[in-house]
Amino acid sequence: MILDILFPNRCIHCNQIIDGNLLVCNLCFEHIKFTHFSYLENNYIKEKCKLLFPVENAFALMQFEKENLSRKIVHELKYKSREKVGKIIADWTSERLDFKNEKPDVLVSVPLHPKKLKERGYNQLHLFTETLSEFYNIPFSHDLIKRNHYSKAQALKDKQHRLETENTFSITQPISGKHILLIDDVFTTGNTLSTIAWEVLKAGNNKISVLVMAIDV
């Protein structure tokens, strides 16, 4: 209570004092660029994925443009130690994502290398994934995929480096005949998701769909 008075929660965009469970005020919420993609129809992220690997469906919640509010939201989650932002973004996602008759079998989040996980203190995708798992009643796995190499954040790499496959992943357990929904924060080149997707596809008769918080357009 005292901390709430001394350090009230503020909108990350306009700095107005807001409820402790919110991230932005009602006025600034209107500035978030949601994609309005349909998970079951062709859309921008699905077309991008199809150039890299076989994909069933794909959905991106927000547009990740330079200096826009969506970018600030994701950066709050990843770099400002605000893990709970993942739940807020998941709530926005559940209001806009309808699997209908294409519900995946398991939600799989992109892993951090153990060193990066120790540095950050949390995986920014875990609470997001767990919240969606509960809402849709779909099991999740945070350890199906293992990241084998440590590297600096994608945001700190130049475009050429992001195009290179510097991070390799491996499957930690047998999996076959499953529809996997791969979950990541931002789709830029698609390199990370593509690398993981091919590992999952090689592991057995699996299908891949994709969900990201934002897509860099």
d(CA 61, CA 90): 9
Q: How much is the pLDDT for 3? A: 47
Q: How much is the pLDDT for 104? A: 98
Q: Which two tokens stand for residue 7?
A: 């350090």
- C-alpha distances out from residue 187 to 43, 46, 176, 190, Å: 14, 11, 26, 6
CA atoms in the 13 A half-sphere facing the CB of 198: 13
3-state secondary structure of 51: coil
Q: How much is the pLDDT for 50? A: 98
Q: How much is the pLDDT for 100? A: 93
CB burial of residue 181 (10 Å; 0-12, 13-18, 19+):
buried
What's the gap between Cα 167 and its chain centre? 17
Q: How much is the pLDDT for 67? A: 83
Number of Cβ atoms within 10 Å of the Cβ of 148 = 10
d(CA 13, CA 32): 10
Q: What is the pLDDT along the chain (217 residues), one digit of tens a residue?
A: 554 556 799 999 999 999 999 999 999 999 999 999 999 999 999 999 999 999 999 999 999 988 899 999 999 999 999 999 999 999 999 999 999 999 999 999 999 999 999 999 999 999 999 999 999 999 999 999 999 987 665 555 555 554 445 558 999 999 999 999 999 999 999 999 999 999 999 999 999 999 999 999 8
Look at the block and give the residue holding tokens 């924060």. Answer: 185
Ordered structural domains, the chain, with CATH: 1-31 (no CATH), 32-215 (3.40.50)
Q: How much is the pLDDT for 217? A: 81
Q: What is the DSSP letter of 108?
A: E
- The answer to whether 211 and 129 are in contact (CB under 8 A) is no
3-state secondary structure of 34: strand
Q: How much is the pLDDT for 70? A: 96
pTM of the full structure: 0.89
Number of Cβ atoms within 10 Å of the Cβ of 67 = 6
d(CA 106, CA 141): 7
- C-alpha distances out from residue 207 to 4, 24, 78, 98, 108, Å: 46, 36, 28, 18, 12
